[in-house]
């Protein structure tokens, strides 16, 4: 499976494709041995949800024996898959179905190699409270956390339901996250004069996060380019919002007043971020910036969240350690999007 990434091309030319390797693991981190390619197989999952107001995208899967439907947030920023369990559950979200009930014969023992790998990765400071079960704790960038025990189970076929997310489907790969490396940030094809920064693709994050310097540079560039018809206003949805002369109904009503951002990786791999990939329109009719300040979470890298992944087909090639993307309407199938390009 090839990874496709858009790059610069002459206006009259054809859009080219480029392969980007994953960013190297941090110094000192263990690099897992790669297994030989398995026989070809695939699964197609229906994504439900949205950036606003739902705040996440999720799939529905049948889990357990007998199988029951659960709604899992698709998260490429984590390699851990979890469900809310009735063990009992503390500080859990309200769910439209009974919580998962674990049984003792499904518990992973502390001495199991799965538990050892989990503790060395997601929970390096967490130890088992008993040898009969594998305890873990993981904390996320938004200060949410998951404290639980590891289990084995049966995963059934995907089913289609329109309900809220109650669990996490971790798709983060060998390093817990995916990154094509460092990129330089541009606004309206002009450099913002910020240092190159590592960029992480995280479908578990609703919005996009920039570290301190690029965030402030982006805010200054956007404010400096806006027309006087837009007035900054307070809105509970996001920190930075504007109102127009009348309430906006969609981003289409206001995107002409904003410029595109660009991430440039290496010499010619470009991620174009048009206004519709960093703006939302709230229920109050205001337009808000869906790029947030990552310095509060002490981020030293930038996160590409759901808002910026909209209408981007992203391909994660774990066997070849490559990552790529190409723009295309999500209403079309991946095969039809790829057939439009050489």
Catalytic positions, please?
A: 75, 202
Q: What's the CA gap between 316 and 23, in Å, rounded?
A: 13
DSSP state of 176: S
Alpha carbon separation from 196 to 182, 303, 319 (Å, rounded) = 6, 14, 27
DSSP bridge pairs for 289:
279
Tokens 């965030």 map to which residue?
Answer: 215
Pairing state of beta strands 167-170 and 68-75?
parallel
End-to-end Cα, the chain, rounded Å: 15
Distance CA 105, CA 8 (A): 55
Contact criterion met (CB below 8 Å) for 182 and 199: yes
Q: Count of CB atoms within 10 A of residue 40's CB?
A: 6
Residues with Cβ within 8 Å of residue 290, at least 6 apart in sequence: 51, 206, 207, 208, 238, 278, 279, 280, 305, 307, 308
Cα Rg of the chain (Å, integer): 21
Burial 143-173 (b: 16+ CB within 10 A, else e): eeebebbbbeeeebebeebeebbbbbbbbbb
């Amino acid at each position: 499976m090839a990874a496709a990434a858009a790059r610069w091309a002459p206006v009259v030319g054809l859009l080219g494709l480029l392969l980007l390797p994953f960013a190297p693991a941090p110094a000192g981190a263990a690099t897992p041995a790669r297994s030989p390619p398995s026989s070809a197989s695939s699964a197609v999952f229906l994504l439900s949800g949205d950036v606003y107001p739902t705040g996440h995208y999720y799939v529905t899967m049948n889990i357990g024996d007998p199988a029951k439907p659960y709604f899992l947030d698709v998260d490429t920023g984590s390699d851990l898959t979890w469900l809310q369990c009735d063990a009992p559950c503390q500080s859990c979200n309200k769910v439209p179905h009974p919580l998962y009930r674990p049984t003792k014969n499904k518990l992973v023992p502390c001495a199991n190699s799965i538990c050892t790998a989990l503790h060395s990765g997601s929970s390096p400071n967490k130890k088992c409270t008993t040898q009969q079960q594998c305890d873990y704790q993981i904390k996320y960038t938004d200060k949410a956390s998951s404290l639980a025990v590891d289990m084995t189970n049966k995963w059934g076929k995907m089913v289609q339901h329109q309900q809220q997310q109650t669990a996490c489907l971790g798709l983060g790969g060998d390093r817990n996250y995916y990154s094509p490396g460092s990129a330089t940030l541009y606004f309206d094809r002009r450099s913002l004069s910020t240092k190159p920064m590592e960029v992480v693709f995280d479908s578990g994050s609703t919005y996009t996060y920039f570290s301190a310097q690029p965030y402030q540079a982006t805010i200054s560039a956007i404010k400096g380019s806006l027309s006087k018809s837009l007035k900054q206003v307070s809105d509970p949805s996001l920190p930075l919002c504007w109102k127009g002369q009348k309430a906006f109904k969609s981003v289409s009503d206001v995107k002409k007043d904003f410029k595109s951002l660009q991430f440039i990786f290496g010499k010619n791999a470009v991620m174009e971020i048009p206004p519709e990939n960093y703006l939302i329109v709230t229920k109050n009719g205001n337009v808000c910036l869906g790029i947030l300040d990552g310095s509060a979470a002490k981020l030293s890298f930038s996160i590409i969240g759901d808002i910026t992944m909209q209408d981007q087909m992203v391909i994660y090639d774990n066997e070849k350690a490559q990552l790529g993307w190409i723009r295309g309407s999500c209403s079309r199938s991946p095969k039809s999007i790829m057939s439009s390009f050489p």
